[in-house]
């Protein structure tokens, strides 16, 4: 019930429309109940030969029918508007909340699961709040008004006709108790199916490269089968309870025919009143059935609401401080003091007591084995993660004291598999600075050695790249991403294996362009240059750096110039020797 009550709060902004909707539904229901009563009066008029009265009653029936038509049309229009408005509010709220969550949340979530909550679950809630509630209201009002009308005409006969109603209430409650868990499980299975579908589409290149279409189809088929099996559990419940709820009023109708027929024969009940009773009982079949359908909608909405609230109640763990400090002037002096970072339930921390001081304008290469903590270290700079211990400072200020948005505008990250949006090349480069002029975009592309291939595209800078930029080569995507980073002129630039897909010659040109960009007056602190972190696996990439920091087990094991480390650090020497044996050509370029 708590989830159900929370769902109703989404109607808060539309109280006026909901009140009008309820009033229209009540009036339409009143017209629906009025027609059987008028029909009874018409039968009495026929028996009495009161033709004038019959004509008036016939006009009243037509008028009630017309009124119900107008009221129903108005009610449906308003209900549709409220339903769509709730959907818009829900989608925006879910989307805004998800984007506000820290990166660590997404590390443990499947994209398809989140998509399912933002689509399937939102629609279930929307249909119930927009239509299901109204159906329940109308069904309840119809039963109540019909019961009142019967009691007014003849209370004892009303008790006979309405005897099944308490049973209907008990059956409906039982249906809700059994149906809600079944529906919630269906929603979960649909989310898993969506996740599998999204994964298959996103990873289609890998699937085809290894000819694993049959395996992925079998996996998807299994997910479809689980949705089907669980849906059948819910379907079997609906298949029994909905017809049963529609059947119960027939028992009251049968009792009415026997008892009411005898009273008509005995002269204690007019034929018109008997007709009213009979018509009302026939009319109750629809509301009873609709009540069951509405109950099913309520169950689906409650199950979806529980999944949505589970997401919405998950508070962001990285938030702006109450009194955020402005990022001070500086050239990107970075300090990490005793930093420790662990991911979720990982058995060992990614960083442990790490200390690092990088003066403004320095280009520092980070090298080490996989899992040494290189990417974790740079992830702390823009506060994608918060350390469990220690502090990260940019130009003397702890990043936790800064507004995250301002901090991230001062730091640009380019990784080895950059994400490009399904938009033009120009829009992708200008993504972080939509107000950038065409000249600025092209200048950034030239510095990233991307201008040449961009101009050779069918529409140049206005060429649309495919989803995730897959119409471009890996090296082209990396250069577009570097141009995007250079355009914002960051205080700190992070190149996470960002030139791994370009040839050695282009890499050297990018290196020269980056060196030039750090001292050409465009940096935040004139003369101080730009602080750059280079995560390297190739010796040619290390050549971009002034210094090298060797990471091992989440700590800085050694730091210094290339030649110095070759003499003093066995670990660095091992890394270089391994590179020599695997890619001698790259080392020749670097040396």
Lowest mean pLDDT among 9-18, 191-200, 204-213: 204-213
**pLDDT score at 521:** 39
- Residue 278 backbone zone (phi > 0: left; psi -120 to 50: alpha; other: beta): alpha
For 453-507, write each residue's pLDDT tens digit.
999 999 999 999 877 777 888 888 888 988 998 898 889 999 887 666 667 666 6
Higher pLDDT, 375 or 286: 375
- Per-residue pLDDT band for 528 (boundaries 50, 70, 90) equals very low
Tokens representing 232 are 């059948």
Is residue 28, in this structure, part of any structural domain at all? yes
Is residue 526, in this structure, part of any structural domain at all? no
CB atoms within 10 A of CB 78: 19
Is residue 47, in this structure, part of any structural domain at all? yes
Mean pLDDT of the chain: 84
- Per-residue pLDDT band for 522 (boundaries 50, 70, 90) equals very low
Nearest to 556 by CA among 545, 544, 564, 548: 548
Is residue 35, in this structure, part of any structural domain at all? yes
Say whether pLDDT at 209 is over 80: no
- Per-residue pLDDT band for 519 (boundaries 50, 70, 90) equals very low
Count structural domains, the chain.
1
Place of tokens 């009874």: 40
Lowest mean pLDDT among 79-83, 297-301, 578-582: 578-582
Is residue 216, in this structure, part of any structural domain at all? yes
Q: Is 200 helix (H, G, I), strand (E, B) or coil?
A: helix
- Per-residue pLDDT band for 35 (boundaries 50, 70, 90) equals very high
Report the pLDDT averaged over residues 567-585. 74
Is the CB of residue 551 less than 8 Å from the CB of residue 341?
Answer: no
Report the pLDDT averaged over residues 503-528. 53
Say whether pLDDT at 9 is over 60: yes
Is residue 105, in this structure, part of any structural domain at all? yes
Query: What are the respective helix, strand and coil percentages of the chain, to the nearest 5?
Result: 65, 10, 25
CB atoms within 10 A of CB 373: 25
CB atoms within 10 A of CB 527: 10
Task: Give the rounded percent of residues in the chain with a pLDDT score beyond 70.
Answer: 91
Q: Which domain holds residue 221?
A: 2-312
**pLDDT score at 334:** 94
Choose from 180-189, 298-307, 385-394 the range with maximum mean pLDDT.
385-394
- Per-residue pLDDT band for 524 (boundaries 50, 70, 90) equals very low
Q: Supply the pTM of this predicted model.
A: 0.73
Q: How far is CA 360 from CA 395, 401, 402, 535, in A?
A: 8, 20, 19, 18
Lowest mean pLDDT among 250-254, 447-451, 584-588: 584-588
Domain harbouring 158, CATH code? 1.20.1560.10
Lowest mean pLDDT among 21-25, 310-314, 326-330: 326-330
- Per-residue pLDDT band for 516 (boundaries 50, 70, 90) equals low
Say whether pLDDT at 587 is over 50: no
Is residue 12, in this structure, part of any structural domain at all? yes
For 36-86, write each residue's pLDDT tens digit.
999 999 998 998 888 888 999 999 999 999 999 999 999 989 988 898 898
**pLDDT score at 525:** 31
Higher pLDDT, 515 or 159: 159
Is residue 332, in this structure, part of any structural domain at all? no
CB atoms within 10 A of CB 96: 9
Which DSSP letter does residue 561 get?
Answer: -
Lowest mean pLDDT among 90-94, 319-323, 334-338: 319-323
């Amino acid at each position: 019930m708590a989830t159900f009550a929370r769902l109703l709060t989404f109607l808060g902004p539309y109280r006026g429309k909901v009140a009008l909707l309820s009033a229209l539904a009540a009036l339409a229901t009143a017209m629906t109940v009025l027609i059987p009563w008028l029909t009874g009066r018409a039968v009495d008029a026929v028996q009495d030969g009161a033709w004038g009265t019959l004509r008036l009653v016939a006009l009243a029936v037509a008028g009630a029918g017309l009124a119900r038509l107008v009221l129903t049309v108005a009610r449906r229009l308003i209900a549709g508007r409220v339903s769509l408005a709730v959907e818009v509010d829900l989608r925006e709220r879910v989307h805004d909340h998800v984007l506000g969550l820290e990166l660590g949340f997404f590390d443990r979530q499947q994209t398809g699961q989140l998509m399912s909550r933002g689509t399937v679950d939102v629609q279930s809630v929307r249909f119930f709040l927009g239509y299901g509630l109204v159906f329940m209201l109308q069904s309840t009002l119809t039963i109540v008004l019909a019961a009142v009308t019967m009691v007014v005409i003849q209370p004892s006969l009303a008790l006979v006709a309405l005897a099944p109603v308490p049973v209907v209430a008990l059956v409906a409650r039982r249906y809700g108790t059994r149906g809600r868990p079944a529906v919630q499980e269906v929603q979960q299975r649909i989310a898993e199916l969506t996740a599998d579908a999204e994964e298959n589409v996103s990873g289609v290149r890998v699937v085809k490269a290894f000819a694993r279409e049959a395996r992925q189809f079998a996996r998807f088929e299994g997910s479809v089968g689980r949705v089907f099996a669980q849906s059948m559990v819910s379907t079997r419940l609906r298949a029994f309870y909905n017809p049963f709820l529609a059947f119960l009023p027939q028992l009251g109708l049968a009792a009415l025919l026997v008892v009411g027929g005898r009273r008509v024969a005995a002269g204690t009940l007019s034929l018109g009143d008997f007709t009213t009773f009979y018509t009302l009982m026939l009319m109750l079949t629809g509301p009873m059935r609709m009540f069951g359908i509405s109950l099913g909608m309520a169950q689906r909405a409650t199950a979806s609401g529980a999944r949505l609230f589970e997401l919405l109640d998950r508070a962001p763990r990285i938030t702006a401080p109450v009194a955020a400090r402005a990022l001070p002037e500086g050239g990107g002096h970075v300090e990490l003091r005793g930093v420790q970072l662990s991911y979720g339930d990982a058995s060992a921390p990614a960083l442990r007591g790490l200390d690092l001081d990088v003066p403004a304008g320095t280009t520092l290469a980070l090298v080490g084995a996989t899992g040494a903590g290189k990417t974790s270290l740079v992830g702390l700079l823009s506060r994608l993660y918060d350390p469990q211990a220690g502090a990260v400072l940019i130009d003397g200020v702890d990043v936790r004291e800064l507004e995250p948005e301002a901090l991230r505008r001062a730091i640009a990250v380019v990784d080895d598999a950059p994400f490009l949006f399904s938009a033009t090349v120009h829009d992708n480069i200008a993504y972080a600075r939509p107000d950038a002029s065409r000249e600025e975009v092209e200048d950034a592309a030239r510095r990233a050695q991307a201008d040449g291939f961009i101009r050779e595209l069918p529409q140049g800078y206005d060429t649309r790249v495919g989803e995730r930029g897959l119409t471009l080569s890996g090296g082209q995507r990396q250069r577009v991403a570097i141009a995007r980073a250079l355009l914002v002129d960051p205080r700190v630039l992070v190149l996470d294996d960002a030139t791994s897909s370009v040839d050695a010659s282009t890499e050297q040109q990018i290196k020269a362009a980056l060196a030039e960009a750090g001292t050409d007056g465009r940096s935040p602190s004139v003369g101080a240059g730009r602080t750059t972190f280079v995560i390297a696996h190739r010796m040619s990439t290390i050549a971009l750096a002034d210094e090298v920091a060797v990471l091992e087990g989440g700590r800085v094991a050694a730091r210094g110039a290339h030649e110095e480390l070759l003499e003093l650090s066995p670990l660095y020497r091992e890394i270089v020797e391994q590179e020599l044996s695997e890619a001698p050509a790259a080392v020749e370029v670097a040396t």
